[in-house]
Chains A and B, each alone.
Chain A
Amino acid sequence: MRIEEHPILSFKKGPKVRFTFDGKTYEGYEDEPIAAALHAAGVRTLGHSHKLGRPRGFYCAIGNCSSCLMVVNGEPNVRVCVEKLKDGMVVETQKGKGDLR
Chain B
Amino acid sequence: MLEKTGIATEQDLAGIMPPKERLAQGPVAVIECFQRIPCNPCYTACKRGAIQEFEDINDRPVIDVDKCNGCGICISNCPGLSIFVIDETYSDTEALVKIPYEFLPLPEEGTFITALDREGKAVCRAKVHKVLNSKAQDKTPVVSLIVPKEFSMVVRCFSIDDFYSDNTIICRCEEITLGQVRELIRKGYRSLDEIKRISRAGMGPCQGRTCRQLIMQEIAAATGVKMGEQRMSTFRPPAKPIKLGALLGGDDHE
A and B touch in the complex (CB under 8 A): yes
Report A-chain residues with C-beta under 8 Å of the C-beta of B14. Answer: none
How distant is the Cα of A8 from the Cα of B102 in the complex, in angstroms?
Answer: 8
Cβ of B239 < 8 Å from any Cβ of A? no
Cβ of A6 < 8 Å from any Cβ of B? yes
How distant is the Cα of A100 from the Cα of B103 in the complex, in angstroms?
Answer: 49
Report A-chain residues with C-beta under 8 Å of the C-beta of B121. Answer: none
Report B-chain residues with C-beta under 8 Å of the C-beta of A6. Answer: 104
Report B-chain residues with C-beta under 8 Å of the C-beta of A7. Answer: 102-104, 139
Residue on A nearest B133 in the bound complex, by CB: A7
How distant is the Cα of A5 from the Cα of B102 in the complex, in angstroms?
Answer: 12
Q: How far is the CB of B234 from chain A (nearest CB, A)?
A: 50
Report B-chain residues with C-beta under 8 Å of the C-beta of A5. Answer: 104-105
Residue on B nearest A9 in the bound complex, by CB: B139
Report A-chain residues with C-beta under 8 Å of the C-beta of B102. Answer: 7-8
Give chain A interface residues in 2-21, CB to chain B under 8 Å: 5-8
Report A-chain residues with C-beta under 8 Å of the C-beta of B103. Answer: 7
For A5, A6, A7, A8, the residue with the greatest tally of chain B CB atoms inside 10 Å of its CB is: A7
Give chain B interface residues in 75-130, CB to chain A under 8 Å: 102-105
Residue on B nearest A5 in the bound complex, by CB: B104
How distant is the Cα of A7 from the Cα of B102 in the complex, in angstroms?
Answer: 6
Residue on A nearest B102 in the bound complex, by CB: A7
How distant is the Cα of A13 from the Cα of B105 in the complex, in angstroms?
Answer: 22
Give chain B interface residues in 206-226, CB to chain A under 8 Å: none
How distant is the Cα of A87 from the Cα of B105 in the complex, in angstroms?
Answer: 34
Residue on B nearest A6 in the bound complex, by CB: B104
Give chain A interface residues in 33-79, CB to chain B under 8 Å: none
How distant is the Cα of A44 from the Cα of B197 in the complex, in angstroms?
Answer: 55
Q: How far is the CB of A1 from chain B (nearest CB, A)?
A: 16
Report A-chain residues with C-beta under 8 Å of the C-beta of B139. Answer: 7-8
Q: How far is the CB of A101 from chain B (nearest CB, A)?
A: 48
Residue on A nearest B101 in the bound complex, by CB: A7
How distant is the Cα of A13 from the Cα of B102 in the complex, in angstroms?
Answer: 23
Report A-chain residues with C-beta under 8 Å of the C-beta of B105. Answer: 5
Q: How far is the CB of B159 from chain A (nearest CB, A)?
A: 16
Report A-chain residues with C-beta under 8 Å of the C-beta of B104. Answer: 5-7
Report which B residues bind A (CB closer than 8 A).
102-105, 139
Report which A residues bind B (CB closer than 8 A).
5-8
Contacts A/B (CB < 8 Å), 9 sampled:
A5-B104, A5-B105, A6-B104, A7-B102, A7-B103, A7-B104, A7-B139, A8-B102, A8-B139
Other than A7-B139, A8-B102, A8-B139, give 6 A-B pairs with Cβ distance below 8 A: A5-B104, A5-B105, A6-B104, A7-B102, A7-B103, A7-B104
